[in-house]
Every structure is written in C-alpha cells, then in structure tokens.
Amino acid sequence: MHDNVSSLLHMYRLQARETTRLQARSNMHSAAHVRMRPEDVEALTRQTDSLHIFIVLFSTSNTKEAVSIQAAHTVYILPNKNSEWVPLRVVASHAYVRGMRVSGIIHRAVVHLVRE
C-alpha cells in the first residue's frame, strides 16, 4: 500500500541527504530544528524573496514533545551562527508520522512558510 504521508519528504525533497539542518523555534516550541533544501537556505538570507514559499521538515527538540504548529503561527529559523532569527509565518502544515520513535507522539511536521 502506498503511503501518501511518507512520500511528502520525497515530493518536497526534504530527505536528510538533500537538506541542511538549522536551529528553529516557534510560538509553541522554544527549541526545535528544521530541515531545509540548500536553495531555500540561500533564499532565506536574501531579503528580496518576499513571495517565496519555504517548505521545511519541522521537528521538536525532544521526541516526547508533540509538535504543535498551526496556520498563522510564527516559526523562527537561524540561517547560520552569525545571523539573526528570521521570522516566517505558517501557511500550512502536515503531520509527518513515518518513523515515529515514541508511540502516539507526532514530533515532526512538513510546514509551508512565508515571510511575515
């Protein structure tokens, strides 16, 4: 049986080998991380891409902490150690359940973000 949810990472090219892991936080999570495609990391550092949609795999810092991401929440991403947090608004999210480590706790989501 084909698992549409598991194909999200493939469809959005968010597999670990194709992405960069960055520190993140949100309204509900003080410590988290995201996986972003390299071209999105580059676009994140440019101020001119105001209409760019960033698609990331958002993960809580602890697998026992359920992810809580909703539309209109803000996700802050740190592009590199020498930069400032970049605020992005959540426009959509999809729970990602494949490979859950703790039964019943969803700690990852594929999230669509835009500049605030």
| 66's tokens | 């359920």
Q: pLDDT tens, 29-75?
A: 999 999 999 999 998 888 766 788 999 999 998 878 888 888 889 99
> What integer best gives the mean pLDDT of the chain?
85
Out of 1.20.1440, 1.10.10, 1.20.58, 2.40.10, select the CATH number for domain 7-115: 2.40.10
Alpha carbons within 13 angstroms on the beta-carbon side of residue 70 total 3
Q: For the chain, which residues make up each domain, given as ranges?
A: 7-115
Give pLDDT, residue 7: 75
Tell me the β-bridge partners of 75.
26, 88
Supply the pTM of this predicted model: 0.85
Question: Using an 8 Å Cβ cutoff, are 38 and 20 in contact?
Answer: yes
